[in-house]
A and B are shown apart, each in its own frame.
Chain A
């Protein structure tokens, strides 16, 4: 029997959950699950986008995710201006912002032939400035209906988690069943060979960089609605987080291989670890050290398991 790589992420998430619940002897398990699913949803959405980019192969990574989240969230809230019934307008603004940023990123990568790390890094500085400029230090509240939706539940599960799940199924279908998915996976293994096999590699890359920015914009929109307004640093923690969930989830950093269930499990895990350490009363320093150690331990565990096969 060979275990799928994503089993690791899910097992770790379950263990972290159990350890936390054990401490509180069962009380608060519901709240913890709610929080994990909600916060995990953000990490999952940006993680799915980052996974698509990382699948494109070595050197492909999007460092502009935090800036995309912030700018999209800021502009969307500004457009809505706390008026009720503008949720879809806001969503449209966020998605359009995401598309624009994705286009800009890809133009830098494609026309200027910049390494994606540098291109998205440089572009994110500009997005950050745009966000600062448009925000002007104001904190605009989301319309009440939208705020209620983003913190609400459906059949006991947070709405955000449903959205993340829907996106995950969409991405899974795309990768496993569609021609585009095959093209993406082929391009990630060997871009030159893929191009010579007749795959429109540039179109695949363009679509991927657009998707990651749109995913980040959606996450920014939801996060701003969820937390009662856009803050300038609201995306900061998702830079390392988005990469971490992809890798913990069992996708290959070398490209050409991706793992949707793993990303979801890893996103839950990342949140649960922090709340576990919180509930054990750990200080910020220890929390950070342990988070890092756990990331490395999981990567090592996954790699030794792989080499035994």
Chain B
């Protein structure tokens, strides 16, 4: 054991985790020291989640070892998917994770502790500790979850694992989190920070570890990486942040006007603004109004691409094939019967076009990684004849390479005359759109077109009224 390992909060030595023949993690040696913020990056399926699960004790390693020189107490995980009990209050959720709170009068300290933690991480938050979690917005829930992660809970947090913590947070709140992480590490705490937003990783990480195919391919201080170098290390040549080189062309007639939005034929319309300001709800209402609860989807004008895959998109018991074809059964079927031959060839075609990584389309959809499941959902939507494609933040948790593939397909389909309504929490994506609506408090605060679409203008429209009030 080296000196570094002795003082480490957690040390992995040649740790591997196999699921049957699948080597999710293939021999990783790594240690995290107090005061360190480790940025962990890698594609979907690179082994990040498995690594996290080894560190927080959810899995035991198949071989190698995971040690906690100072004991395993104080290791906390904040998960990517929201994992609070929605029927309990904020304070009760803290108490679930705090076994010391029991007996008579456990509520008062629970309330005080979660409030203190929220105040520390997110100054001027507006969360009532007695509010039930399902009354909170997604962003607020994520804030609560993070605050529970950093709360003392009868000891103190030594290592906090943040897995995509900012995926539902808007930029202002995310910045508060990043500065808290820096402060936490400066005070001797350790953080493992996983994010697809490389800017954030550079902003907080003191060291960056790149995972690829279950192995560490780079492990260096953050300042030794450039953005491009990091993307290259992950194994994709496509660079982040390249402005699309499309020329903005004149679009056709208006095909839809609803919810204050307007979109023309062949146009890619972006919805932006701070997360949770009504964009997703507006899109869902718009989509539901375009389709019917009662009549079949044959020739429906609109299709929907979900971002929240388990909730809105994936049909979990089915194969990849059936998940793709569900949107076109009515079109290709004969006399109410499914046309299995057409179904098969259509799915094969889209597997090629969008690059779904599987050797058999009859495999269950859940055998795919998140990014590939997302591709299936794209294929489902694009395979239909619908002229309007509604996308609710579909790039959540999708790796850079897949994103570039999908951007290209969106552009190609738009050129054929299809209209895209695209809500994204990543400003950079919105900047590629032809027209952008910025939301604030469930209302449209700005409509930008052409050269007006810049990150600055979008931010301005998202924030300006907030500062005025």
Contacts and interface: CB of A to CB of B under 8 A. Distances in A.
Given A179-B336, A182-B338, A196-B304, A203 B327 contact: no
Contacts of A11: none
A193 B294 contact: no
Interface string B349-384: 000000000000000000000000000000010001
B329 A182 contact: yes
Contacts of B398: none
B314 interface: yes
Contact of A186 (B287, B288, B318, B384): B318
B316 A198 contact: no
B420 to A, nearest CB: 16
Contacts of A201: 293
B326 A197 contact: yes
A189 B317 contact: yes
A258 to B, nearest CB: 11
B315 interface: yes
B20 to A, nearest CB: 12
B326 A186 contact: yes
Interface in B135-178: none
B209 to A, nearest CB: 35
A198 B327 contact: yes
Contacts of B304: 196-198
Contacts of B322: 182
B337 A200 contact: no
A239 to B, nearest CB: 27
B337 A177 contact: yes
A183 to B, nearest CB: 8
Nearest to A255: B317
Contacts of A181: 338
A200 B318 contact: no
Contact of B293 (A178, A185, A193, A195): A195
A199 B297 contact: yes
Interface string A169-186: 000000001111111011
A189 B318 contact: yes
Given A177-B338, A190-B314, A197 B293 contact: no
A256 interface: yes
B306 interface: yes
B286 interface: no
Interface string B303-346: 11010000111111110001000110110010011100000000
B317 A200 contact: no
Interface residues of A, number: 26
Interface in A122-141: none
A256 B303 CA distance: 22
Nearest to A203: B294
Contacts of B314: 190, 193
Nearest to A252: B317
Contacts of A195: 288, 293
Interface string A240-282: 0000000000001000110000000000000000000000000
A190 B314 CA distance: 8
Nearest to A188: B317
A186 B295 CA distance: 16
Interface string A193-220: 1111111111100000000000000000
Q: Which 8 A-B pairs have the closest CB atoms?
A: A198-B297, A202-B293, A196-B304, A189-B315, A179-B329, A203-B294, A256-B317, A179-B333
30 contacts: A177-B337, A177-B338, A179-B296, A179-B336, A182-B322, A182-B329, A185-B318, A186-B318, A190-B311, A190-B314, A190-B315, A192-B312, A193-B312, A193-B314, A194-B315, A194-B326, A196-B284, A196-B287, A196-B306, A196-B313, A197-B313, A197-B327, A198-B304, A198-B327, A200-B294, A200-B296, A200-B297, A201-B293, A202-B294, A203-B293
Given A198-B300, A198-B384, 20 more contacts: A179-B338, A181-B338, A182-B322, A186-B315, A186-B326, A190-B311, A190-B316, A196-B313, A197-B304, A197-B313, A197-B380, A198-B297, A198-B303, A198-B304, A200-B292, A200-B294, A200-B297, A201-B293, A203-B294, A252-B317
Interface of B: 284, 287-288, 291-297, 300, 303-304, 306, 311-318, 322, 326-327, 329-330, 333, 336-338, 380, 384
